[in-house]
Structure 1
Amino acid sequence: MIGRIRGILIEKTPGQALIECSGLGYEIDIPFTTFYNLPDIGQEVTLQTHFVVREDVQSLYGFASRLDRDLFRLLIKVNGVGPKLAAGILSGLDAHQFIHCIEGRDVKALVKLPGVGKKTAERLLIDMTDRIKQLEGQFTPAAEAAAGSPANEPKTSSNAHSPTDEAAEALIALGYKPQEAERAIAKIAEEGMTSETLIRLALRNMIPA
């Protein structure tokens, strides 16, 4: 099991990061909430990781915090929730927001996540209510405050595509329809916004806090 990786960030796109560690480049699938917190290209980064091995694929998932990683591990134990859907859930809601949804029995917020229908949302509420208790000690007021601190504000994107195009492509990759992605971006787009900011605000409008 690969549980943690520290190295130099070589590339980053919504959904994936390439990290060089000891001469090897690791392609790591990441939720958008982790992408928002990545440093600039060329800087050192540390991610908590989970290694998925299947007959046809091996994937390494990375997370900005241990809480996100541990929640991911609980999500993939839910019937019908695989790693891709779990990462999608953590792209629309960070760990603190997801826990609030479960504690508040907020089905409406869950079904707005791509790939989550009403039945899956109800299953999440049933299965995760007890499981999130395993995260006790990680989900604290101090940790919640830190999650919303300026240190966790989106970093500047270094990609050549326009921020609006990149944000729309990221939402489509997450599972939203092109029309939905374009409308969501158009509603909040302002000059000078980075793709990270556009993605975050668009998702916030799609998924009520």
Structure 2
Amino acid sequence: MIACLRGMLFQKLPESLIIDVGGVGYEVFFPQSGQVRLPGVGEEVFLHIQTVVREDAFNLYGFLEPTEKEMFQLLNTVSGIGPKLAMHILAGISPAEMARAILHDDLARLTRLPGVGKKTAERLCLELKDKVQFVPEALSASSPALTLPGEDQRVHDAISALLNLGYPAARAREALAAVRQQAGAEGFAAMPIEELLRQSLRALV
């Protein structure tokens, strides 16, 4: 499974990119509406990758930020939302704004997104409200109680590493919560990132 790519941005297409990595061109789905955030053709680019394997396809979906990849994974758990629709949704809204809309049942904002009708917006709020706590910007503006106590850059880095290993965002946060409970608040706060990740992987077994 491909978790990330670093290489030369070889070509921008309407719905995808070609990334040259050591002479091999990888086609990565990336909506045109979000391509203004990318460097120019011929320059180096780094993308977080979600690999989606189907019977007739092996597709790569690219993201500039790990929180975008996390939100993409969550969106794909909702009935009626597939990978391509999830990409178009995220091209029109940041993960923080998406999380805030879900936390506040903001159906008006959600239904302005491409492909999202009222029923889909209601499902998003119902199914994801307790799963969007990985977006710190959204939580600070809504419900601090949903954050993981002791959360800092180490926690975000650990979540990103677990995502790159293929674990869903919800399971990654559950593992970190289990590590905190076992280590205690002080032990958790003092734990280096390497140990935090090791303990989290043990909790996921």
TM-score normalised by structure 1 residue count = 0.62
If asked which structure has higher relative contact order (CA below 8 Å, sep 6+), I would say 1
Number of the residue aligned with 1:113: 113
Give the letter aligned to residue 102 of structure 1.
I
Number of the residue aligned with 1:129: 129
Displacement of 1:92 in angstroms is 1.3
Partner Cα separation in structure 1 for residue 40 and residue 5 of structure 2: 17
Number of the residue aligned with 2:99: 99
Partner Cα separation in structure 1 for residue 46 and residue 139 of structure 2: 22
Number of the residue aligned with 1:51: 51
Number of the residue aligned with 1:203: none
Number of the residue aligned with 1:9: 9
Residue 41 of structure 2 aligns to a residue whose secondary structure is coil
Q: Which of the pair has more CA radius of gyration?
A: 2
After TM superposition, the structure 1 = structure 2 runs for residues 1-209 of structure 1, keeping only pairs within 5 Å, are 1-32=1-32, 34-133=34-133, 135-136=134-135
Give the letter aligned to residue 130 of structure 1.
D
Paired residues of 1:67 and 1:138 also in contact (CA < 8 A):
no
Q: How many residues align?
A: 140
Paired residues of 1:32 and 1:90 also in contact (CA < 8 A):
no
Give the letter aligned to residue 68 of structure 1.
E
Partner Cα separation in structure 2 for residue 45 and residue 117 of structure 1: 34
Paired residues of 1:31 and 1:63 also in contact (CA < 8 A):
no
Closer, same or farther: CA 34–114 of 1 in aligned 2, 3 Å: closer
Residue 51 of structure 2 aligns to a residue whose secondary structure is strand
Displacement of 1:120 in angstroms is 0.5
Displacement of 1:139 in angstroms is 6.0
Give the letter aligned to residue 62 of structure 2.
G
Paired residues of 1:48 and 1:63 also in contact (CA < 8 A):
yes
Residue 131 of structure 2 aligns to a residue whose secondary structure is helix
Paired residues of 2:99 and 2:135 also in contact (CA < 8 A):
no
User: Cα deviations across residues 57-95 of structure 1 (Å, max 9, x unaligned)?
Assistant: 221000010010111011101122110111111011121
Give the letter aligned to residue 65 of structure 2.
S
Partner Cα separation in structure 1 for residue 54 and residue 93 of structure 2: 26
Displacement of 1:13 in angstroms is 3.4
Paired residues of 1:14 and 1:35 also in contact (CA < 8 A):
no
TM-score normalised by structure 2 residue count = 0.63
Residue 36 of structure 1 aligns to a residue whose secondary structure is helix
Paired residues of 1:18 and 1:26 also in contact (CA < 8 A):
yes
Identity percentage over the alignment?
41
Give the letter aligned to residue 4 of structure 1.
C
User: Cα deviations across residues 82-120 of structure 1 (Å, max 9, x unaligned)?
Assistant: 101111110111212211211221101111222111110
Partner Cα separation in structure 2 for residue 32 and residue 94 of structure 1: 16
Residue 45 of structure 2 aligns to a residue whose secondary structure is strand
Residue 132 of structure 1 aligns to a residue whose secondary structure is coil
Query: Which piece of structure 1 moves more, 108-117 or 42-51?
Result: 108-117
